Amino acid sequence: MSDQKTRTIIEELAASLDIPETAYDKAEARYKDLGAYFDGPDAKCNPFSPHIYPQGSFRLGTVVRPLNGTCEYDLDLGCRLRKGIAKGSHTQQQLKTLVGVDLESYRKVRQIEEKLEEKSRCWRLSYKDDIRFHLDCVPSIPEDEATKSVIRMAMLEAGSVESLARNVTNLAGAITDRRSPFFSVISPNWKISNSEGYSLWFESRMKLARELMEMHAFSAKAAKVDDLPAHKWKSPLQQAVQILKRHRDVMFEDDLEGAPISIIITTLSAAAYQGEQDVASALQRILSDMRSCVRNSIPRVPNPVNPAEDFADKWHDPAFRHLQLEENFWLWLERAQEDFRIVANARDITYLEEQVNMKFAASLSADRLKESLGLGSINVVTRPKSHDVATSPAKPWLRV
């Protein structure tokens, strides 16, 4: 268990990385406005019971302030057409085109200047106002019952409780992907996706800190934590993921393609988390146990809501061998363990600020830390020579 001073340092770090509440509010307002438009009488998708929902880090409450200092965020959304369209009646291309028509109409009505942009799986809307967003909208339809049943059995075999497996698989969908050879033909071969189910699984891991979650709900005057948006839970797991993602961003700032991807960091963190009540203890547990959560056989990092899918599939794909993705992951984990220890054990304010800035591109309030830690302005420490700023290379982990 971490001591109080370590907890204070890590909590201050986590708070410095979180995004403003106004950014969450703006994101929520935008996806709700888009949902209202798709439900409107002029929308081509309206007869197909459209459902617009957030996914990714905004849904999980694990967004981190942009590393480059700009206020620009990626807001991932799903657009599920819940009736009237099936794999046997429409192609992926037809579904994507249908959603794209309404998004283009919405763009014009809302006077969004940036052109609608087509990506492999989604459509992108770019806002350029006070809080800049890339809104990526992924079209989908409900997955068929036979596929849901297979996934449910796989989750049970992987150790999921029956109620969670049932609730999660009911949310499974089939998404469009223009890279698929079946994109423009009627085919049962659509890619499975279940971002809403993944969110339920991640929340089930957050709830391991049940007493803390109930306290947060009480403080927010909610009957239960489920009544709050996930980002208001402020769970140790969410904060630990934010810290680890930022550490990854800094470490691989010059090698973005080779960086460990967020879904792997998030999934392994949630799998390792055991309900620790503070973020320092959660980080300690996660960094200690993350290695054991990576399987030796394929799938190396199974999708918890579709165990046949491997989030680490590129690790063993010859097309990505030049990126050294698995090697980079283990390098990152080793460096994260080391850097967490250095920051957690720092007791000299100047050295602590120096390390936090170098390893997390974050700034802490020296005055608040002095007050919280009960430290004076002068604290003598022995600094690890190998991590002295003056003698260590800026990016020793990058490939030459």
Domain ranges of the chain: 4-387
Counting residues of the chain whose pLDDT is more than 70, the rounded percentage is 85
Q: What's the whole-model pTM score?
A: 0.88
Higher pLDDT, 172 or 224: 172
Is pLDDT above 50 for 380?
A: no
Is pLDDT above 60 for 393?
A: no
Q: What Cα–Cα distance (Å) separates residue 84 from each residue in 48, 60, 140, 273? A: 6, 30, 12, 41
Is pLDDT above 80 for 381?
A: no
Is pLDDT above 50 for 386?
A: no
Give DSSP secondary structure letters for 142-183: EPPHHHHHHHHHHHHHTT--HHHHHHHHTT-EEE--TTSTTT
Give first-to-last CA distance, the chain, whole Å: 38
pLDDT, residue 214, reads 67
pLDDT tens digit string along 126-147? 987 666 778 999 999 999 999 9
pLDDT, residue 397, reads 42
Give which of 295, 92, 109, 98 is closest to 191, Cα–Cα.
92
pLDDT average, residue stretch 197-207: 95
